[in-house]
Each structure stands twice: as structure tokens, then as C-alpha cells.
Structure 1
Amino acid sequence: MAILRSLIYIKWSDLLYLTFVTWCILGCVVMVTGTLTMASQGEQSNCDSVTKLYPEDLDLKLFQDSSSHPSYYRYLTVDLESNYLFIGAMNRIYGLYLKNIENKLKRLKQDFKPGGHQVYKCKISGKLENPDCQNHIRYLVRNTTVPNTFYMCATGAFSPIAYQLRLENERFVVLKDDLNGIGICPYDPNDNTTVILVEKGAPGNVPSLFAGSVTDFIKSDPLIVRPFVYLPDGTLETGYVRTLRLRNEWLNEPQFVGSFDVGENVYFFYREVALEYTNCGKKIYSRVARVCKNDYGGSSTLQNIWISFLKARLNCSIPGEYPYYFDEIQDVYKVGDTFYGLFTTNINGLTASAICGFNMRDIDRAFDGAFKEQRDKQSIWLPVPEVEVPNPRPGDCKRTNILSKQSDLPYEFTNFVSRSNMLMDKAVSHTFGKPIFYKGGCLMQKLVVVQNVAGHGELVFFTASNTGIIYKIAAWPGLTPLDAPKTYTVTNYIPFSDSRPIWSLMIHDAWIYFGTDMAVGQIAVETCDKYKKIDLCIYDPFC
């Protein structure tokens, strides 16, 4: 009888595996079919609009340092208190006047060059002296608890470094320049990382950094981390908390695009190699992850490890019998309770871009649902039975705070978090069941959003491409709240005569700011007097 049961088990497992392989093959067929469909759409229409505005048409303001070499203006942030647009560049930080970046009377320029030893170590490790072995500024934020102080981090010639600064008389005074920036800033200036300062809700209720980055030179240890938390008097409230080390079930070659402080949680958006697809090959999926701000980490094997970390797939696709997926998130922007993600197809295939919206309610619903797991390498991925999920459930912030302060976590809880990939079974559905906007033939990589410009609930998306074009896309509400908006590519802004990627995009007041490796630009969001036909004004909410 035991032998018979074994035979039955083997045949049933083989059947499951055969079914899984069949679905993989079918999935590949679907991908090809979808690609052909999008290809035909891309041939008929790309991201162009009727109106194209060139440098001579725009009230274009440009800033470029005197150097004829790239300065890598890849980080922009608006600081309203100082009226500066701060720019993180290679070995330097700039402050430009928000209303006119060409104004030389209000301008800050300060060098932060790497040390000679750091440059030497970087070069003997096989990196190029320029741009790799330089100090690229990647994050600058004002510390609201201490007047006129800032936290800054940079790549430090592949030795990430952090600074404490004070702004005095249009210049930064360096308070500390030897802080460890590992896990906060990237090693490689080309990496996609994210960091956010959370003002309230972290342990001790003191401002704390949350980041998605890597901890090593070869990028083998990606992580989501909250560094050590110190109270105002300098005492340590709690140690660092991070994702499980060297566990690709939690993070698998992630490329982070954004992070947000919402309620009791911090949300991270990124793309990664999808483990649930690896039996069919290598594929990228977009994710949203969530951690509790007040998570102190676990005990024993989970010491300094998040016990609230959860992640879910983001579904941005054109619906149909064979859905067409935009799997690679490039940027994300939050308006109210909705996150708007900019997605693309894989850059090695036919290019297409899409904008999808994700409501906070739908994201949290996915995190409250079933977990997904693969029992062994030949098993299909299935929902985890609810009876196997511990109580309290991972991700419950109120109970997480109580649990993480205990010296010993319940065995069932520790075992579940230690062995699980913390992946949710259901993907987060996009609003309206389809993209708000999609087009073939262009690769968009940065996004900002303006809401309710004309008072009718409309949205205006500004997206920037890898060729230096900025698109203004208007989305007018449908007849009912359930109807998808009607979108129009109103204008193409073409600020450069050559093709160059736009790496950063910001909006403030009546201006769009953008950064490339050679220059920083500023253009007005309202260009109604440039339209040659009155019906074009009708589509633009700014008119």
C-alpha cells in the first residue's frame, strides 16, 4: 500500500509539473501574439502629437556649467524654504533659483569631491575614473527638526558616503562628512535606488530614513533598510532593520523607482526578476512592497530583519483574451490616494509605454489577501492555505510593533517569515481595468502628474523619454467615475536639438524642471499661445 501511495504521488506530481510546463509554453505563445498586436499598433501611431514645440517655441531656460564634459545632473529636488532647485551632479551640488534657473544672482555651487584613497580603490577594482570613480550626489533632504540642516548622500567613488550639512549665507557648511552611506546611496552612479525621510511613526517617533539600495560592490546584496534610529539626545533607540540577506525570494535584482510615506507604512515601488516565472525563463515583473514604520525587527534568526515586509505584483496590462503586459515600471507619482506608474515593455523587444493607476485601497487589499508559495523547484506556485498563515499575520503594523519588542517571537511566526518569500498571491489591479494611456514606438522613463487643473477632475501627465522629449498627456474624466478617462497627447516638448536621455523630472508651480547629463532645463507648463488650431486648446486643461 505504501508503494502504491508513492506511485500515486509521483504520477500526481508529474501531472502538476506537466501542467505547469504546458502553461509556460502557452504563456510564451501569448507573449508573442501580444507583441505582434502591439507592433501593428506601434506602426500606426507612436507618441507624437499634432503639436511639437522646439527650443525657439518654448520659454526655455537652460543651466549648464562651464565644463564641456558631462556633469551628470541626475538628481533634482525642490526646496521651498530656500527657493532653490537643488541639483545633485558629479562632485558638485547646485542651487538654482526656482523661478528662473538662469538667474546668476541667486545661485549656489559647491564641490564635494571624493578622497584620493577612494578614487584609487575604485580604479584598482576595475572601474573607470570618470564617471564611475567620482562622487555623484544622489539624495538631499532638509531636516525639519533642526533649522537649516540637511542630510545628503553620494556614491563616493564606489564607497557610499553621507553628510550632515547646514545652509548658511547661500552656502553649505559641512557638519559631518564621514558618515556611512552604504545601503542608503548606491555604489554605481547608474543604479536605480530610492530613499525617503519619514518624519513621524518610526521607533521613538523621530525622523528616520528608509531606503532601497545595495550593500556591496558587486550588487549581490540588495535590500530595503531603515538604518540605526537615534533619539534627539543621541541615545540609540533601535538598530538597523532590513530585508533578509542574500535571499532572492525577497528581492531579486531589484531596480527601485520610488518610495512613499503613507499612514503607518512605507511603500516601495520597483521591478525585479520574477522568481514565480523562472521555470519558464527570465522575466521582469513590477512590484510594490510595504513595511511598517514602527517595525523594530525580530529576534533570533530574524534579528534586525523586517517582520512586516510584504510584496505584490503590479498588473499594468491591456485586457483581452491574451492580455498584453507592460511589465517594467520606470517611475511612479502619487496624487491623493492613487499611485500613477509609468511602465514599459522590455527594452530588448518592441518598445511601448503605458501609464496605469493603482488605488491605495486595492494595494492594501492585495496585502490582506493570500500569500503565494512554491513548495519545491518542480512545483507550481499556489496560494498558501490560510491555516498555515500565523496569527498575528505579518504586515499588521499594530501587532508588529508589539511582536518586534518581544525577546522571543512565536515559533510559527518566525518559521513562516524565515522560509516565505512574502509574495502575495493576487496582483494589484489597475484602476479602470486597463491603462489610462499607452502607445507603441516610444520609451518613456520619467513621470510627474498634475490634477484638476481646470476644475473638472482632469489629470495632466508629463512624461520624459530616453531621447529627450517631454510629452504632455491630458486625461479627461469619463461620463461616470467607473469610466476610464479619455487621453490625448497634447504636446511634444523638444528642448534639445540632439537626442539625449532625461534622467530627472520635477514639477513646481507653473514650471517643469528636467535634468540630463549635460544640462538642466526649465519650461512653462502652459503653452496655449503656441497652438496653431483652436481645437488643440480644447484638449489642453491649462488653456
Structure 2
Amino acid sequence: MNTWCVAAPLCLSVQSYADGNLTLENKGEDGKGKCPFDPFQRYASVMFENKLYSATSMNFLGSEPVLMRSSPVSIRTEFKSSWLNEPNFVSMAHMSESVMSASGDDDKVYLFFSETAVECDCYNKLLVSRVARVCKGDVGGQRTLQKKWTSFLKARIDCPVLESQLPYIIQDTYRWCDPQQPWKDCLFFAVFTPQSDTSDLSAVCVYLVSDISKVFAEGKYKTPVPVETSFVKWVMYSGDVPFPRPGACIDNSARKAGITQTLDLPDRTLQFIKDKPLMDHAIQPIGEAPLLVRRGAKFTRIIVNQVQAADGEKYHVMFIGTEEGTMLKAVNYNGEMFIIEEVQLFQPPHPIKILKFSNVTRQLYAGSDYGAAQIPLATCGRSSSCMDCVLARDPYCGWDTVGGKCIVISNSQRELIQSVKEGDASLCPGADPVKPVNQSIWLGGNVKLSCPSASNLGKTTWEQDSSPLTLSTHLQLLQDGLLIFNASHSDTGVYRCLSVERSKAGEYTTTLAEYHVSIPEGGDDRNVISPEAQINGPSLAGLQVVVGLLLVSLLALLAWNFYKGHLPLPWNYRKKNREQSQETPDQEGLNSCTTYQDAQRPALAEDKPLVSGIDNGSRNNNHTRGAAAFSAAEENDDSTFTPPSLQYIDDESEM
């Protein structure tokens, strides 16, 4: 009988951090409800005014989900499926909604998660995305909902993708706020993936905090209604709503009624929120459509940074992690979603599970189960020309005509060339022509024409004598060039490698490389040694040395075999034949029999299909049975040996 011991999570406080070393306090505290028992189970938490808000599971099996505040008074959700039904917690964020609030509202903590929908009477479980919120000043009820949230409300959050009939599931969020704007203008960027394996689309939706707050403050509630088929149906509640409004924070109107804290709330309000925490209206994204929809690897994480471009406007640049270990860099220009680049961070591919931004180092940090990566916000140095720099449409980068390179805008005081909205490369000065390279090739030889990598969005094409190149079996296109096999006279000419890139401003073509391929005089002589064979020295002399060594080795091997007697010498073989011709017929028969026996014994396994009709009881011991037959022949007075009758094997087990 096995005994399993499961330890509850333990929380330790950091005492100090110096020289890269963490020192933890010896005194620990119970981590139950603050983090999960299983480290691979996803949870969410946020520290707000030295109070920890956490969303995790209270038991080892993960069957008791909870949204809890640990201090100073422990407050948690009710353990009911109408509150949390098999949730998968995603993220948490706090909003300072009490700042300059005309109604005296309280600060909020928002929780994003997905769960099995209780309001859907489906045959199979349907997952939906949710956003819930609680009030900072909530301390629970007096009799009803003791030490439970009295302000817990949740609503469905949608990200409509046209191809999908099932709701998309939220995977991560990022809160972005302009410090110069009120909290109502803050944005939540969220990534969604399909819950069906038939779709490979991922999406990014953006939500205004004021839209989320309005649903909780003014929206209708859902209520469970029993029906005849013995299940509960959730419908919109159309009855009277008690005062104070269920789920609302304590505000000026409640204070005027003598309700200064949640302990003063009437039982009618508390019982209402206990039974009906779900809002009827779903929260829609800005524009009621996704900001970005992309086919390919599923999105996992998102982070957003704002940058001011050369045109003076500010843009939200999104960095999106995927399941294949890549990171997308994307931006929206007046409704046009543009992907600047996609970088492979982890090889072999592993899902990106952490994506953070440091204001100190101004670097991005991505983490997977097997490693971490540091990524700069801008990689302007990858653009080697003005056209590449402008067509990248990266708001971080601009072309410096004085320095002749693509640099970060914030690092220069000079006016840089940039066109993020249009991608107008005509603003660039004329580029220097590419210097042609003379390339010789022999008839029947092979040669590779290299071509430098184009930009991320450029398409590489080849021309031969100013005409599009027609690929064939001896002309093969590589990722970094063109390979010519078994060259002939028709393969000579001028080859150009071109990069074609399109933007809103037009189509631009850049010559990346140019080759003049020709056959030198005497290149069609079949006796001419291929130059590839002489790259590392006089290969003919080397071949002669190798052949000489092989002949010496062969002669040494033959001499050793003659010396050991493995091979008979020719004069000994002729002498042996003369002696055998002088022997009597009886001796000849005996010698013949002996020679036959000695010669056949190694080959008995090959003669297996023909065996003696007498079975000695062992079908696999072929050598023993053969030796017995020849021994019987030697004991017979008659010098003539008659082998036993032979029969064909009809049973595969005798093979």
C-alpha cells in the first residue's frame, strides 16, 4: 500500500536582495489560497496597497476555485458553480477608480478567466471568457455572505471572429493606461484562441475600461429559473433590483442611506448577489471586432508599448508570444493591422508563457519552460538600406541620411526618413547600383549564386537576361541563392536577384545581387579537370599516392595469407593433384567421401529445404543430424555411400 503525502504551498517573504542573491525569512506562512498546489496549474494574483488578491484553487485536486484577498481580513468567493464553474484563471489588474470620482466610488480589482458556461443548456460543455470584479473596501456581509465578497460580479467578454461559431477563449491580457488620461480611458488588450481544433486563427481584441465598468454599474442581471426538464435555465432578470444595487461598491448614495461599509448592507441585497452574480450583457471590444486576426501558431501572451513616431503621433506596438516560441511585433495604422516582424525566440520551439517589459532596461523578457530570452524593443540595425528601413514601417526606426543607417528615433536629434502609415520608399535618396560579379562555370559543372536576405515582407525573385527566370531540374531556387546544376551554354548570361515589396504607397523593387555567368575558353573541353576538384591542391598527385598505398596494402595482405596457409601456393596445388591421381579407387572413394563431408558441413544450413526423412526429434539441430548421417556411412563395410531418401519440406516450421 502506497502512502502519498501532499504538502500545502508555503509562502516566504524576501528579507533582502543583494549582488544577485535572495535572502528569505525563516518564518513562512500558509500559502493555501494564495498559490496553487500544482505549479503547472495556472493562477492569477496582484498586490494592491500591500494586500494580496489571488485567484487559484484551495485544494490539491483543484476542485475548489477561489478569488481571495488575504489581508487584513480574509475575503473569498462563495463555493458555488454560479460564481466560479471550473475556471481557468488568466490575469488580474487593479483600477484606481476612486481617484477624482464624482460619485465617491471605490477602487476595483478585475479578474480575467474562462470557465464552463452555466447559462448554456448545451449537450456538451461550452467554454466562455469572463471578466469579474470586486471592490477594494469589501469586508463581507454581517449575516449573509460572511467573509465572502459582496461585490463579486462577472460578465461574458466576447472577441467575435467571423469564421467561428463557438466563443473564442481568452489567454492573456495587458492593461495599458495613459498617465495623462483618466482611468476610464485605460485599455485592456487581450489575446484569444479557438476552443475547437478545426480552426487555427488567433485574435487580439481591445476593451475600454469604461465599457466594462458600465456593464457592471448599469447592466441587467441573469437569474436561474427551474424548468420542467429538471435543469436550470438562466434568463435575464426583469424584476425589482434592491437598494443599494447588488454588487456595487459603497458610494456617496449608500453613505447617505447610512451604509458606510459592506457589513451594513441589507440581507435582501446580499441574497440577491449570492444567487445572481452573472450579468446578462456581454462586453464587446472596441469597434465590435478584433484588432488583429492571424492564422498560424496560437497566441499565448501579449504586452503593449507606446511609441511616438517621426510624424508626432503615438502608436501602440503589440508584442505577441505564440505556442511555437515566436514573437510577433504588430501595430495598427488607422485600422490597418501591420505585422512588422516575427522572431523565433526558442529553438526547438517551446510555448512562450511569460512576457514582461522592464522600464529600467527598456527590454522585453520572454520565458518558456526551458529558457528565457531578452529582446530589444527595436531592431533597426537589421535594415541595411533606406528602402528596407522605410518599408519595415517600424515606428521605432528611421533612416539617418547623414550616418547612412537605420537607427532608433529616440537616439537621434536629426530629422529621419520614416513613413509608418504609407510605407513610401520614394522618400529615400537613390541607392547606389549593385556591383556586378563575374562568375565562371565549366560545362557540366555546378555553381551557387548567393543572394542576401531580403526584408521580412519582401519577396525574392530572379531574372536571367532581364527576363523572369524559369526554374527547372538544373536551376533550383534556395533560401539564400540560386543553384545551377550540370551547366550548359544556355545557362550563361546576366542573373539578377530582386526583392519585390508592396506597401500602401506602391510596389518597390530592389536589386540585391547581380552575376555575369560565362564559360571560359576551353571550358567545353572534356579533358579539362574541373576547377572544383583542384580547390585544395593538386588532386591528381594525391590520387596517385592513394592508389599506390592501396596496392602496397593488397600485396602485404596476400603475402600474409600465403604465409599462414590460408591460400595454397600454386606449386603446392599442382603437387597435390599429382599425388591424388596415383591413389587406388577405394582410397579415392574414401577421400572423396571425406572431402564431401568436410565441404558440406559449413553449408548444411543453406541446404535446409532438403533433409533426411528420419527425424531425430530436433528440427533445429541441423548440424547434429548431418554429422550422424555421415558417421553411419563411414561405419558401413561397403565403400559406396548411399544417402537417405530426400523429401521436400512442406512445413514452414522446419525452415
Do Structure 1 and Structure 2 share a fold, with TM-score over 0.5? yes
Determine if contact 2:134/2:151 at 8 Å carries over to the other structure: yes
1:415 Cα deviation from its structure 2 partner:
2.1
- In the TM superposition, residue 355 of structure 1 has moved relative to its aligned partner by 0.5
Question: 1:145-187 CA deviation, whole Å, 9 max, x = no partner?
Answer: xxxxxxxxxxxx7521111122153333322442011111111
What SS does the corresponding residue of 1:302 show, helix, strand or coil? Answer: coil
Separation in 2 of the partners of 1:464 and 1:175?
A: 35
Higher relative contact order (CA 8 A, sep 6+): 1
Pick from 430, 433, 437: which aligns with 2:288? 433
1:296 matched residue in structure 2: 139
Aligned equivalents of 1:308, 1:449: Cα separation in 2? 30
Larger-gyration structure (1/2): 2
Partner SS for 1:367: helix
**Compared CA separation, residues 506 and 158, structure 1 to 2 (3 A):** farther
Residue aligning to 1:524: 376
Change (3 A) 1:124 1:341: farther
Q: Letter of the 1:242 partner, please give it.
A: R
Q: 1:381: which partner in 2?
A: 234
Aligned residue among 395, 399, 417 for 2:273: 417
Structure 1 partner of 2:58: 215
Map 1:25-36; keep pairs closer than 5 Å: none
| 1:506 Cα deviation from its structure 2 partner | 1.0
Partner of 1:178: 28
Question: Matches of 1:323 and 1:501 in 2, distance apart?
Answer: 24
Counterparts of 1:125 and 1:429 in 2: how far apart (Å)?
47
Report if aligned partners of 1:162, 1:177 keep a CA contact under 8 Å in 2.
Answer: no
- Alignment match, 1:459: 316
**Cα deviations across residues 29-85 of structure 1 (Å, max 9, x unaligned)?**
xxxxxxxxxxxxxxxxxxxxxxxxxxxxxxxxxxxxxxxxxxxxxxxxxxxxxxxxx
Q: How does 1:362-381 map to 2 (within 5 A)?
A: 362-368=211-217, 369-376=219-226, 378=231, 380-381=233-234
- SS of the equivalent of 2:226 reads coil
Shift of 1:531: 3.6
- 1:418 match: secondary structure: helix
Amino acid at match of 2:74: Y
Q: Which residue of 2 aligns with 1:539?
A: 393
Unpaired segments ≥5 residues, structure 2: 97-106, 178-185, 398-655
The residue identity in structure 1 corresponding to 2:190 is G
Sort the Cα spacing of 1:124 and 1:520 in 2 relative to 1 into closer, same or farther, 3 A: farther
Query: How far apart, CA to CA, are the structure 2 residues paired with 1:537 and 1:184?
Result: 48
SS at match of 1:491: strand
Amino acid of the structure 1 residue aligned with 2:75 = V
2:232 is equivalent to residue 391 of structure 1: no
1:485-543 deviations in Å (ceiling 9; x for gaps): 21111111113331111111112243211112221111212112214652764421111
Aligned to 1:334: 175
TM-score by length of 2: 0.52
Provide the secondary structure at the position in 1 that maps to 2:115. strand
What amino acid does structure 1 have at the position aligned with 2:273? V
Gaps of 5+ in 1: 1-122, 127-156, 200-206, 230-238, 479-484
Tell me how far 1:430 sits from its aligned partner.
0.3
1:497 is matched with which residue?
Answer: 347
Q: Does the aligned pair in 2 maintain the 1:256–1:269 contact within 8 Å? A: yes
Determine the structure 2 residue equivalent to 1:16.
none
Output the CA distance in 2 between the equivalents of 1:487 and 1:332: 19
Structure 2 residue 111 is matched with structure 1 residue 257? no
Give the residue type in structure 1 aligned to 2:395: P
Within 2, Cα distance between the matches of 1:406 and 1:466? 44
1:395-434 Cα shifts (integer Å, max 9, x gaps): 32125897584766423113212322x1111011100110
Task: Sort the Cα spacing of 1:522 and 1:276 in 2 relative to 1 into closer, same or farther, 3 A.
Answer: same
Distance 1:314 1:530, change over 3 A: same
Instruction: Give the AA of the match of 1:357.
Output: V
> Quick one: which amino acid aligns to residue 209 of structure 1?
L
Match runs of 1:119-134 below 5 Å: 124-125=3-4
Distance in 2, matches of 1:404 and 1:296, equals 11
Instruction: Measure the CA separation in 1 of the matches of 2:377 and 2:265.
Output: 53
**Is the Cα contact below 8 Å between 1:161 and 1:179 reproduced in 2?**
yes
Within a 5 Å distance, the mapping from 1:456-495 to structure 2 comes to 456-476=313-333, 478=334, 485-495=335-345
Q: Give aligned-pair identity as a percent.
A: 29
Give the counterpart of 1:313 among 145, 156, 161. 156
- 1:160–1:182 Cα contact (<8 Å) kept: yes
**For structure 1, which segment, 337-346 or 505-514, has the greater mean C-alpha deviation from structure 2 after superposition?**
505-514
Cα 1:163–1:209 change in 2 (3 A) is: same
Aligned residues: 363
For residue 77 of structure 2, what is the amino acid of its counterpart?
T
Query: What SS is found at the alignment partner of 1:173?
Result: strand
CA 1:125 to 1:427, structure 2 compared with 1: closer, same or farther past 3 Å? Answer: farther
Report the RMSD for the aligned CA atoms in angstroms: 2.4
Kindly indicate whether the alpha-carbon contact (under 8 Å) linking 2:250 and 2:260 is maintained by their aligned counterparts in 1: no
Q: CA deviation at 1:366?
A: 1.0
Q: Which amino acid aligns with 1:539?
A: R
Q: Deviations over 1:347-372 (max 9, x none)?
A: 64422210000101110111121001
1:241 to 60, 75, 83: 75
Q: Note the C-alpha offset of 1:305.
A: 0.6
1:165 aligns with 2:14: yes
> Does 1:512 pair with 2:364?
yes
